[in-house]
Amino acid sequence: MENNAVFEQNMVVMRHGDRIDHDQPLWRERANRPWDPPLIQFGKNRAWSTGKTLRTIGFPIHRVIVSPFHRCLQTAFEVISALCASDDQSLVGVENSQDVVIDPTRVKVYSIPNL
């Protein structure tokens, strides 16, 4: 007997929300971690809205893989919170990036207009 079952995997790829260094260019000059800018409130709100929209995509989200950068963790937190539709913060485990060691001499910063 031949097995003609079709297996599908769905993947959603997204970027982080709006970050502070794009909104406030001088932020880098006084930041302790200039390579790791957080989101602005608008970025958090957009991430939350994206999470609410993802609830309607028609397939479940089983796993979230995220970069350790602060803005990425904040984006994932907002999206997951909206997906769960709960204000209970204990349902979502998010660690900050304070303990992530990054060698600033190995970081290259690129600015691509209109992205």
pLDDT at 28 over 70: yes
| Angle, vertex CA 14, rays to CA 13 and CA 18, nearest 5 | 170
DSSP for residue 99: T
What per-residue confidence (pLDDT) applies to 11? 86
The 10s digit of each residue's pLDDT in 47-64 is 999 999 998 888 888 889
Residue 103 has pLDDT above 60, yes or no: yes
pLDDT in tens, 72-95: 999 999 999 998 865 555 555 556
Residue 34 CB contacts under 8 Å (≥ 6 apart), including other chains? 21, 27, 28
- Within 13 Å, how many C-alpha atoms sit on residue 42's CB side? 6
Side-chain-side CA neighbours of 33 within 13 Å: the count stands at: 15
What's the whole-model pTM score?
Answer: 0.67
